[in-house]
């Protein structure tokens, strides 16, 4: 394969991916491609399948999950049906993830410095002190005060917001080809949220890192993403450039989702907007019979 072909090869390719538990589908026939340096956002209500899809990319689903489809490829390697060791080989430099709940991201029994040092096990040329300095540097990047002192902290000694910064630092430290960010700024204030989004942009600009951003915050998606994917009931109902989807959503669910965005609700309304799921089911049934 030529250098040019390698550079244009998608970082992530998902082809007709479906996930079910006990025969009940949670994700159905999802198609998704992410190019190097591209930031793609996934939006949808809780329970729409966003996190399940993200976990499947790194092989983090429980053994009870049945995964099928044509392809789940990272950097050209198909991991559909792969076992744990195969996924472990790609976690880190291949793809890294920032999880939604920082309180369960780290082991409560070990110091943060030891846990992040373990993530650098592939860096055999680095001394223990060099690894320590690398961790301190990325702690400073994400705005952690007293960065060097945080290495000796246990997770329970930090607030949720501070732990989320550590989780983001751990992912950034790996310099992955694909960064999966599942609500990465939920526990942060608006100032730190802006800093983290700036960091993600820098990763894209400096290293060509691709990002899959999952968020309920439509403003974050509009600000940072190139494309957006809309999920509803485990399916992708609409996707395209951010400007097109936000300016002219074509699917009824996307329009209903945008109508419920707090920033777009007119002040003084008597009734808050809600999503009419029954109408959406009728729309879906009508399309099936058409």
Q: What is the CATH number of the domain that holds 161?
A: 3.40.50.300
Domain count, the chain: 1
Q: Are 192 and 154 in contact (CB under 8 A)?
A: no
According to DSSP, the residues that pair with 68 across neighbouring strands are: 18
Contact 31, 236 (CB under 8 A): yes
Residue 5: inside a domain? no
- Could you give the CA distance from residue 184 to residue 193 in angstroms, rounded to a whole number? 9
**pLDDT (0 to 100) of residue 2:** 37
* Cα four-point dihedral sign 224, 217, 35, 85: positive
**Can you tell me the distance from the alpha carbon of 95 to that of 200, in angstroms, rounded to the nearest whole number?**
14
What CA–CA distances, in Å, run from 226 to 1, 94, 132, 172, 269? 28, 21, 35, 20, 33
Q: Residues 31-51: pLDDT tens digits?
A: 999 999 999 999 999 999 999
| Short-list 256, 169, 182, 252, CA closest to 217 | 182
Contact 230, 253 (CB under 8 A): yes
What whole-number distance in Å separates Cα of residue 258 and Cα of residue 182? 20
For 285, left (φ over 0), alpha (ψ -120 to 50), or beta?
A: alpha
Q: Read off the tokens for 158.
A: 């930090």
Q: Note the Cα 62 to chain centre separation in Å.
A: 18
Distance between CA 42 and CA 20 in Å, rounded? 20
pLDDT the model gives residue 90? 86
Strand partners, 231: 236
Q: What is the pLDDT along the chain (290 residues), one digit of tens a residue?
A: 334 444 578 999 999 999 999 999 999 999 999 999 999 999 999 999 999 999 999 999 999 999 999 999 997 889 998 888 888 888 888 899 998 888 888 999 999 999 999 988 878 888 999 999 999 999 998 889 899 999 999 999 998 888 988 998 998 888 889 999 998 877 678 887 888 888 888 878 887 889 999 998 898 899 999 999 999 999 999 999 999 999 999 999 999 999 888 877 778 788 888 888 888 888 777 666 55
Full residue range of the structural domain in which residue 149 is found? 10-289
Nearest Cα neighbor of 130 from 96, 175, 173, 177 is 173
**Is the residue at 50 inside a domain?**
yes
pTM of this prediction?
0.87
Q: Which residues pair with 66 in a beta bridge?
A: 20
- 51-57-58-64 Cα dihedral, nearest 10 degrees: 70
Nearest-angstrom CA–CA distance, 271 and 107: 44
For residue 201, tell me if it sits in a domain. Answer: yes
């Amino acid at each position: 394969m030529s250098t040019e072909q390698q550079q244009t090869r998608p970082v992530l390719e998902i082809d007709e991916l479906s996930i079910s538990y006990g025969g009940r589908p949670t994700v159905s026939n999802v198609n998704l491609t992410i190019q190097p340096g591209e930031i793609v956002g996934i939006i949808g209500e809780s329970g729409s399948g966003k996190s399940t899809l993200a976990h499947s990319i790194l092989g983090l689903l429980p053994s009870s999950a049945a995964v099928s489809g044509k392809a789940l490829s990272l950097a050209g390697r198909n991991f559909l049906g792969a076992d744990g060791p195969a996924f472990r080989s790609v976690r880190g430099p291949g793809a890294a993830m920032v999880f939604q709940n920082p309180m369960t991201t780290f082991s409560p029994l070990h110091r943060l410095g030891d846990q992040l040092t373990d993530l650098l096990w592939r860096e055999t040329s680095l001394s223990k002190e060099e690894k320590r300095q690398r961790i301190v540097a990325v702690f400073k990047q994400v705005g952690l005060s007293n960065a060097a002192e945080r290495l000796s902290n246990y997770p329970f000694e930090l607030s949720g917001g501070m732990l989320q910064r550590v989780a983001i630092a751990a992912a950034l430290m790996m310099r992955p080809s694909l960064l999966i960010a599942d609500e990465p700024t939920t526990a942060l204030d608006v100032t730190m949220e802006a800093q983290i989004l700036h960091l993600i942009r820098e990763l894209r600009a400096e290293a060509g890192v691709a990002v899959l951003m999952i968020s309920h915050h439509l403003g974050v998606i509009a600000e940072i993403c190139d494309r957006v994917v809309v999920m509803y009931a485990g399916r992708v109902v609409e996707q395209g450039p951010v400007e097109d989807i936000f300016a002219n959503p074509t699917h009824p669910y996307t329009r209903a989702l945008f109508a419920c965005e707090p920033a777009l609700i007119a002040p003084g309304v008597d009734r808050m907007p809600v999503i009419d799921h029954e109408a959406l089911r009728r729309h879906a049934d009508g399309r099936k019979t058409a």
